[in-house]
Amino acid sequence: MNLINYLKDKIIVIFISIFSLLLIISLLSLFNIHLLLYISIIFIYTSNLLTIFAIEYLRKKHFYQNITKNLKNLDQKYLITELIKTPEFLEGIILEDILYDINKSYIENINKYKFSSISFEEYIELWCHEIKTPLATSKLMIENKKNDSSLKDELDKIEWFVDQVLFYARSGNPEKDYIISETDLNKIISNVIKKNKNIILSKNIKINSFNEKIIVKSDSKWLEFIINQIISNSIKYSKDKNALISITYTKNKNNVILTIYDNGVGINHSDITRVFDKGFAGLNGRKTYKSTGMGLYLCKKLCDKLSHNISITSIENEYTKVKIVIPSGSLTNDII
């Protein structure tokens, strides 16, 4: 901040001050006033004005020079607010408040992305551990020339894990990857059951579903992923005997409600409110499987993007019921 720029900024104030001085002199000229008094008034007025300008200029110059100097010496320039001394003039105080708010917002965003990065690293680490099992099993089957059906099951697991990590990676901006259109809900459910049929048969799980064609407005790929995740959980946490998965729907004027029920191990009462939290595996997930805790989180996130509503009710050792509410009128044939 130099003197010339400061005076340019104050040019209007200077002109008003000169005009005011001339006006005072003109008024005084109407009276018989001694010349010395004229000179005294001009001197006092000018001196006060220059003193005010000088004090303001020096305060601002010192403040802005201090900021500029510290900023040049800082590698992490967003930390400048830590080095600013509280100024003694209003504009400086306002600037300090603005810089503080900007810095706070910047740090919050950095922490948000840092947390997201850490979560992704933790998820990938767990994912790698999970995918090693079907890979090792597949390799062993090939070496021992086991039957194709069992090998296909393991390859299906690998495909599912790959799909899950891809959906997670894209979940930040899913609007670039889905199209809302008329979708046959029955066809999606049939595809999911078909994908899981071998493990359903091996665990002797009874499946009750509907056969009629039910048209909903959604993205078939994303909705199939969501339903597959829910049914996979029902299979994973099924009981050893008399296991049942029941899939029903209710068609209302404004929506279709899909309900997936199982009589498996259920969800602990203390966990039910956290099942959609990122990375939360729950008591049964930690006890029975080394779960990533990302499946239901992804279901919730994708349902929100699709304007679907998902909810879970459960009683431990009795049942788990998942409801997906798909609106009838929203997002009709829109390409997102």
Highest mean pLDDT (candidates 122-126, 143-147, 314-318): 314-318
| Listed range (12-16, 63-67, 126-130) with the worst mean pLDDT | 126-130
* Structure tokens given for 19: 């005009």
pLDDT value at 319 more than 90: yes
Cross-strand pairs, 244: 206
Which residue in this structure is represented by tokens 């005011």? Answer: 20
d(CA 276, CA 294): 8
- As a whole number, the mean pLDDT across the chain is 81
pLDDT tens readout for residues 151-160: 767 777 777 6
pLDDT value at 336 more than 50: no
pLDDT value at 75 more than 60: yes
pLDDT tens readout for residues 279-305: 777 665 545 555 667 788 889 988 998
pLDDT tens readout for residues 209-221: 998 999 999 989 8
Q: Determine what percent of the chain is predicted with pLDDT higher than 70.
A: 84
* Structure tokens given for 38: 């004229």
Strands 244-251 and 215-218: unpaired
d(CA 142, CA 153): 13
Cross-strand pairs, 248: 259
Instruction: Output DSSP code: residue 206.
Output: E
Q: How far, in Å, are 6, 92, 102, 122 from residue 98 at the CA level?
A: 22, 10, 6, 36
Which residue in this structure is represented by tokens 């000229």? Answer: 29
pLDDT tens readout for residues 78-111: 777 777 777 877 788 888 888 888 888 888 888 8
Residue 29 identity: S
Residue 334: what pLDDT? 41
d(CA 200, CA 251): 28
d(CA 246, CA 252): 20
| Listed range (114-123, 160-169, 281-290) with the worst mean pLDDT | 281-290
- Identify whether the C-beta of residue 326 lies closer than 8 Å to the C-beta of residue 308: yes
Q: Determine what percent of the chain is predicted with pLDDT higher than 90.
A: 26
Residue 90 CB partners (closer than 8 Å, separation 6+)? none
- Identify whether the C-beta of residue 233 lies closer than 8 Å to the C-beta of residue 267: no
Instruction: Output DSSP code: residue 254.
Output: S
Q: Give this prediction's pTM.
A: 0.59
Residue 142 CB partners (closer than 8 Å, separation 6+)? 151
Residue 18: what pLDDT? 85
- Identify whether the C-beta of residue 311 lies closer than 8 Å to the C-beta of residue 322: yes
pLDDT value at 324 more than 70: yes
d(CA 77, CA 75): 6
Q: Which domains, from first to last, does the chain contain?
A: 3-106 (no CATH), 178-336 (3.30.565.10)
d(CA 107, CA 121): 21
Residue 66: what pLDDT? 81
- Identify whether the C-beta of residue 327 lies closer than 8 Å to the C-beta of residue 313: no
